[in-house]
Amino acid sequence: MENERIYLSPPHMGGTELAYIQNAFDTNWIAPLGPHVDAFENNLSGFLQVKACAALSSGTAALHLALIQLNVQQSDYVICPTFTFSASANPILYQKAIPVFVDSEKETWNMDPELLEEAVQFCLRQNKKPKAIIVVHLYGMPAKLKDIKKIADDHGIPIIEDAAESLGSTYYGKHTGSFGTFGILSFNGNKIITTSGGGALVSSNLEAIKKTRFLATQARDPAPHYQHSTIGYNYRMSNICAAIGRGQMEVLSNRVDSRKKNFNYYQSRLSVLPAITFLPEPENVSSNRWLTTIQIDSTQTSATPNTIRLALESLNIESRPLWKPLHLQPIFAQFPSFVADISTNLFFNGLCLPSGSALTEAHLDRICSSVEATIGS
């Protein structure tokens, strides 16, 4: 269809999900636990090569439980990148802690290690060592983990990896999400695989994942009656959602390949335009290319990211600005930040192009033709 809606990053079923769902109905496992939950957790931990995994209701829930287990409390400092979705920082406020925002570096658009060190020193001058460093792998691109991990190790600060956007990405051959004390995954409908809504907390600390499951099921003590000694949460993934996830895991590698093919098409077609640049992969890094992003050089064209977005929308094609930095968001503006305007410039000059794994070459041609016409007009 000529005017078929092209979404930014829609769900893409593999074909076996319905069979797993039917099995859950046939066996009456319609609950926030069950054999599909167990199997999905095993699938994920095996893929990431970590010891354990807890399937949860969202990536935000996973991050919240990670902070709880790191004993993040009121007025504690937690360091977080500014260039990310608000869900990377919201759980810090759930705990009444204080986010300290750190700007991006140019090579990966993720947390700048030099500014991270400045942020750590700021916290130490307040006589409060940060309780955690949250590292996000933005748009699927792994952060500079070696540099960040050295700083964290030098100061004895645990790392939480927010790998919500980077499932299938690797850093020096190792999967993102497996480097920190905890790793966060998301299976929202726009992610590289989906369970309709859902997330997971992964770790090589078996006791921590055992406690995660306890906290995620209302922290019910082992007693024949309902007894509770600590606050719990309704954060467990349902067996139905996990059934979808099992089918999705079967096609994860294909989904990563498809997203990379999208990026390669865009880059080969649009990089000839002087106004458009792409983010390359550093050496020893493999991005899943969850979303393909472009930067627009205003010295080379009168077009802006917004005029390109509106032109695409007029053709029923969804695109999206890059994340607005959190230190510029009204809800977070009051908190400490260590910025060098990298993320601000990326936000004002960038755009996310449609990146779904079911895009055809005809779809990609339609998108690129619009971008080319807008840049050239």
DSSP string, 268-333: HHHTTSTTEE--PPPTTEE---SSEEEEE-TTT-S--HHHHHHHHHHTTB--EEPPPPGGGSTTTT
Q: How far apart are CA 337 and CA 311, in angstroms?
A: 35
How is the chain split into domains, by residue range? Answer: 17-249, 252-376
Q: Which CATH number fits domain 17-249: 3.40.390.10, 3.40.30.10, 1.20.1530.20, 3.40.640.10?
A: 3.40.640.10
264's CB contacts (< 8 A; 6+ apart) are: none
CATH class of 252-376: alpha beta
Q: How many residues does the chain have?
A: 377
pLDDT number for residue 305? 98
Q: pLDDT 10s per residue in the chain (377 long)?
A: 578 999 999 999 999 999 999 999 999 999 989 999 999 999 999 999 999 999 999 999 999 999 999 999 999 999 999 999 999 999 999 999 999 999 999 999 999 999 999 999 999 999 999 999 999 999 999 999 999 999 999 999 999 999 999 999 999 999 999 999 999 999 999 999 999 999 999 999 999 999 999 999 999 999 899 999 999 999 999 999 999 999 999 999 999 999 999 999 999 999 999 999 999 999 999 999 999 999 999 999 999 999 999 999 999 999 999 999 999 999 999 999 999 999 999 999 999 999 999 999 999 999 999 999 999 85
- Rounded to an integer, what distance in angstroms lies between the CA atom of residue 137 and that of residue 139? 7
